[in-house]
Amino acid sequence: MGTNGKESLIVLDGVTKVFVTDEVETHALSGIQLDLKKGEYLSIAGPSGCGKSTLLAILGLLDTPSDGTYTLNNRPVSGLKLSERARIRNREIGFIFQAFNLIGDLTVYENVELPLTYRGMGSAERKKRVQEALERVGMSHRMKHYPSQLSGGQQQRVAVARALGGDPAILLADEPTGNLDSANGEAVMNLLKDLHRNGATICMVTHDPRYAQFADRTIRMFDGRIVEESVEASRN
């Protein structure tokens, strides 16, 4: 179990998401209850279309629930203004996407630095954070390269560094190995495991059962609901 007594970072209570198109209502999420502790590694599994990505978008403040409450660090985020949501997203949440989402005409260094410039952070502090983040993912030697000069696995490492640079409260990873072959996928998963060992809170969406096992706890979704929860018995 291992999370007993730890402080809650994220609490979802009765979160529902309904999309309405042409008079048709789609219930993407129905009554989600979730309590994610600080320092926990959670994986969200389930078939395509079950609501995993919708849930992650709500956790990342990219979307809002139709009903229910979302509390981040003891603060309700449901009623916040767009500008405040953007500020929290930039400071509290690190995103890792399946498609890497690096900017092609920026170097590795500039890609990792970009989110920090939005904070108005001084250049010396930015430089220190970027270099530390690239060291943590083993990509310092490529900081002057462009994304097109890197392999997929290297690009995903840079994307992880970009997420880490802001020292977020949580890393949200959406199918982070989806575009990688198995060797690179394994390397990225081992990197996330190391970050978790060093205290990172991670929430990862994956459809790959091998990778779900890297987490402390897995919730399985089906048709917009959490249908099962399992805790990894052995953590290596």
How many CB atoms are closer than 10 A to CB 205? 23
**Percent of the chain residues past pLDDT 70, beyond the cut:** 96
Both tokens of residue 179? 């575009």
Say if domain 40-56+81-231 classifies as CATH 3.30.9.90.
no
Name the nearest CA neighbour of 171 among 11, 51, 60, 53: 60
Could you give the CA distance from residue 216 to residue 1 in angstroms, rounded to a whole number? 8
CB-based contacts of 124: which residues, under 8 Å, 6+ apart?
none
- Quick check: 120 pLDDT over 60? yes
How many CB atoms are closer than 10 A to CB 84? 12
Q: Tell me what the pLDDT averaged over the chain comes to.
A: 89
- The tens digit of pLDDT for each residue in 194-217 reads 889 888 999 999 888 888 888 999
- The tens digit of pLDDT for each residue in 138-175 reads 999 999 999 999 999 999 999 999 998 888 889 999 99
- The tens digit of pLDDT for each residue in 53-84 reads 899 999 999 999 999 999 999 989 877 888 89
Please answer whether residues 101 and 159 qualify as being in contact, where contact means their C-beta atoms are separated by less than 8 angstroms: yes
Could you give the CA distance from residue 12 to residue 33 in angstroms, rounded to a whole number? 5
Give the pLDDT of residue 5.
Answer: 63
Give the pLDDT of residue 183.
Answer: 87
Name the nearest CA neighbour of 150 among 122, 111, 124, 118: 111
- Quick check: 235 pLDDT over 60? no
Could you give the CA distance from residue 183 to residue 89 in angstroms, rounded to a whole number? 31
Mean pLDDT in residue range 83-106: 89
Could you give the CA distance from residue 129 to residue 23 in angstroms, rounded to a whole number? 49
Please answer whether residues 231 and 1 qualify as being in contact, where contact means their C-beta atoms are separated by less than 8 angstroms: yes
